[in-house]
Amino acid sequence: MSKSSEATGIAVLGMQWGDEGKGKIIDLLSKEARHIARAQGGNNAGHTIIAEGKEFKFHLVPSGILYPHTKCYIGGGAVLDPSSFLEELGGLKKSAVSFEKRLFLSHYAHVVLPYHRLIDQFMEKERGAGAVGTTGRGIGPCYADKVARIGVRVADLIHPESFKSKLEAVLKIKNQQLQKLYGHSPLEFSPIYREYVEYGERLKPFAAPVEEFLYQAGRKRERTLFEGAQGALLDITFGTYPFVTSSCTLSGGVLSGLGIGPSQIQRVVGVAKAYSTRVGNGPFPTELKSEELALFPDHTASREIGTTTGRKRRMGWFDAFLLRHTAHLNGVDALALMKLDILDGLDEIKICTGYKRTPTFPASDEELKKVEPIYESHPGWKEATGHIRVYDDLPSKAKAYLRRIEEACEIPIAIISVGPEREKTIWLDPLFTDY
Ligand code: GDP
Ligand code: IMO
Ligand code: MG
């Protein structure tokens, strides 16, 4: 498989701090795709889709599941909380969305256990003012156990004998931690074992050699989407550490998380909002001052309330300096620019083009906290854009804003989103170019 000529995979990745609108883009592209795979993260993610007037929120299930012709995969690099996953399936069943024989779970994915959630919450409490602001879903502790080689995987869970010995060993370690560090009473083996053996039975029909399936899809040149979770600045290595999640959220993570080679990715689409948001703690150079925030639609109207935790997202101006950096980390070749409509009512819109005396994006969170953004001011278009479907019909000031973003980020925009619904989309590039 040579890269650009034959590969039929598109990676869709968040360019900011998550919640850019990846779910909407995956749903749109799924209409023309056969396979959709999630490589990393867990139920810390929340991807919202509005399809035919109905709202869906996905945490672990790939956002392509709404189209019955697709096959969806959760890869070995993801972490799976079985109760959350099964709850999600229950929701799909209620909405009459089929998933039997078209949703597959890698044997290599690690399992979130009750002590992961407890430890996540205890660690956050202990950090006090320095808390990361995690989703409390046990994601960090689960990934930590994976690296410490004391994790439990789907492959273990579906084999009760193997699960038993692994859980016995790890629970000893975890109970010491819970008791000695956090003064928590030890967790009993039997209830956890029983609960998770039952989960194992329910997960068994989904467990599959996802890596091989994706390889075969690539060989047959079937269109595949790789759905990112979180965003580039939440990446465990290159994000705003330590205020990050615990997985690789970049295009590199797609490969390592699914067990595929780079030749399976044809294009990398970076999803970014026409402004910025962040949920949780950590530096945010272009964060709005309260008087600026007051000029934006409120959090409910702008849909800036976290899908997973219900927290209000912090909001900021578009940061082109940051975006250029995250696009380079991912090898992005097209942008999906989301939520343009949220800026419709503003008199003035700012773009950050750099930070004073800062030639490259700072690695240190202390440094990033202190940077002084350089802003350019753009006049607002003061017109609704939600009804517009063709680029030429956009107000000229909106077009100038978009052109400036493309120029400052040095990446063409392929999709402009002007509302949460499927149809509220302006296509400049169909993205799938294989046939
Ligand atoms: P994800 O995690 O990247 O999939 O993004 P989320 O779903 O967590 O957050 C994006 C929110 O914005 C959701 O509520 C979407 O329904 C909504 N949304 C997506 N695109 C647009 C858009 O163009 N305009 C508006 N107003 N809302 C959008
Ligand atoms: P999607 O896929 C936005 C943030 C949390 C916190 C940090 C670490 O919907 O874009 P964790 O629970 O992962 O250990 O929390 O990462 N975070 C997200 N923020 N969108 C997400 O996912 C996120 N997943 C984690 O708020 O700051
Ligand atoms: Mg989200």
- 434 has pLDDT over 80: no
For ligand 3, a single-atom ion, the residues with CB < 5 A are 19, 46, 307
Q: Which residues contact 107 (CB under 8 A, 6 or more apart)?
A: 76, 153, 154, 155, 158, 207, 208, 209
Q: Tell whether 86 is covered by a domain.
A: no
- Per the listing, tokens 């019909």 go with 393
- The rounded distance, in Å, linking the Cα atoms of 279 and 130 is 15
Q: What is the pLDDT of residue 2?
A: 42
- The rounded distance, in Å, linking the Cα atoms of 211 and 208 is 9
Write out pLDDT tens, residues 163-196: 999 999 999 999 999 999 999 999 999 999 999 9
CB of residue 247 inside a 6 A radius of ligand 2: no
**Strand intervals (E) in 151-300:** 207-208, 224-227, 267-273, 276-278
What is the average pLDDT value for the chain, to the nearest integer?
A: 96
Number of domains in the chain: 2
3-state percent breakdown (helix, strand, coil) of the chain, nearest 5: 35, 20, 40
From 234, 241, 313, the mutation candidate for ligand 2 (largest count of ligand atoms within 8 A of CB) is 234
Instruction: Select from 41, 425, 26, 25 the least CA-distant residue to 232.
Output: 41
Q: Tell whether 79 is covered by a domain.
A: no
- The rounded distance, in Å, linking the Cα atoms of 386 and 53 is 15
- Region 325-345: what's the mean pLDDT? 98
From 15, 17, 19, 26, the mutation candidate for ligand 1 (largest count of ligand atoms within 8 A of CB) is 19
- The rounded distance, in Å, linking the Cα atoms of 174 and 252 is 31
Contact 286, 318 (CB under 8 A): yes
Write out pLDDT tens, residues 39-64: 999 999 999 999 999 999 999 999 99
Q: Tell whether 104 is covered by a domain.
A: no
- Region 1-10: what's the mean pLDDT? 65
DSSP-derived secondary structure letter, 298: P
- 390 has pLDDT over 60: yes
Contact 282, 240 (CB under 8 A): yes
Q: What is the pLDDT of residue 67?
A: 98
Q: Tell whether 87 is covered by a domain.
A: no
- 4 has pLDDT over 50: no
Write out pLDDT tens, residues 262-280: 999 999 999 999 999 999 9
156 is catalytic: no
- Note whether 39 and 22 are same-domain residues: yes
Instruction: Select from 210, 193, 116 the least CA-distant residue to 159.
Output: 193
Q: Tell whether 166 is covered by a domain.
A: yes
- Note whether 218 and 166 are same-domain residues: no
Q: What is the pLDDT of residue 307?
A: 80
- 403 has pLDDT over 70: yes
- Note whether 364 and 417 are same-domain residues: yes
Write out pLDDT tens, residues 20-29: 999 999 999 9
Domain boundary among 183, 203, 223: 203
- The rounded distance, in Å, linking the Cα atoms of 82 and 65 is 18
- Note whether 221 and 360 are same-domain residues: yes
Write out pLDDT tens, residues 86-112: 999 999 999 999 999 999 999 999 999
CB of residue 338 inside a 6 A radius of ligand 1: yes
- Note whether 310 and 381 are same-domain residues: yes
Backbone φ/ψ region at 410: left (φ over 0), alpha (ψ -120 to 50), beta: left
- Note whether 168 and 283 are same-domain residues: no
- 313 has pLDDT over 50: yes
Ligand nearest to the CA of 49: 1
Q: What proportion of the chain, given as a percentage, has pLDDT over 90?
A: 96
- The rounded distance, in Å, linking the Cα atoms of 151 and 164 is 13
Q: What is the pLDDT of residue 309?
A: 85
- Element at 324 (helix H, strand E): helix 320-330
- Note whether 226 and 195 are same-domain residues: no
- Note whether 352 and 431 are same-domain residues: yes
Q: Which residues contact 102 (CB under 8 A, 6 or more apart)?
A: 65, 68, 70, 71, 72
- The rounded distance, in Å, linking the Cα atoms of 379 and 349 is 6
Q: Which CATH number goes with the domain that contains 351?
A: 3.90.170.10
Domain boundary among 203, 228, 255: 203
Q: What is the pLDDT of residue 435?
A: 55
DSSP letters for 109-142: -EE--HHHHHHHHHHHHHHGGG-----SSSHHHH
Confidence of residue 433 (pLDDT cuts 50, 70, 90): confident
Contact 152, 111 (CB under 8 A): yes
Distance 322 CA to ligand 3 centre (A): 19
Ligand nearest to the CA of 311: 2
Ligand nearest to the CA of 341: 1
Which of 175-183's residues contact partners 24+ apart within 8 Å by CB, and which partners?
A: 177/115, 177/119, 178/115, 178/118, 178/119, 178/122, 181/122, 182/118, 182/119, 182/122, 182/126
The sign one gets for the Cα dihedral 56, 16, 14, 152 is: negative
- Note whether 155 and 62 are same-domain residues: no
Q: Tell whether 226 is covered by a domain.
A: yes
- Note whether 316 and 430 are same-domain residues: yes
Q: Which CATH number goes with the domain that contains 164?
A: 1.10.300.10
Classify burial at 434, counting beta carbons within 10 Å of its beta carbon; exposed 0-12, middle 13-18, buried 19 or more. Answer: exposed
Query: By alpha-carbon position, which residue is closest to atom 15 of ligand 2?
Result: 134
Q: Tell whether 195 is covered by a domain.
A: yes
Cα of first residue to Cα of last residue in the chain, in angstroms, is 16
Q: What is the pLDDT of residue 308?
A: 81
Domain boundary among 175, 203, 231: 203
Helices and strands in the chain: count of H runs, count of E runs: 15, 19
- Note whether 335 and 399 are same-domain residues: yes
- 5 has pLDDT over 60: no
19 is catalytic: yes
Confidence of residue 3 (pLDDT cuts 50, 70, 90): very low
CB of residue 38 inside a 6 A radius of ligand 1: no
Instruction: Select from 389, 312, 319, 377 the least CA-distant residue to 346.
Output: 377
- Region 286-302: what's the mean pLDDT? 96
Domain that holds residue 303: 1-69+211-435
Q: Tell whether 100 is covered by a domain.
A: no
- The rounded distance, in Å, linking the Cα atoms of 315 and 198 is 42
CB of residue 230 inside a 6 A radius of ligand 2: yes
- Note whether 54 and 145 are same-domain residues: no
Confidence of residue 292 (pLDDT cuts 50, 70, 90): very high
Q: What is the pLDDT of residue 244?
A: 98
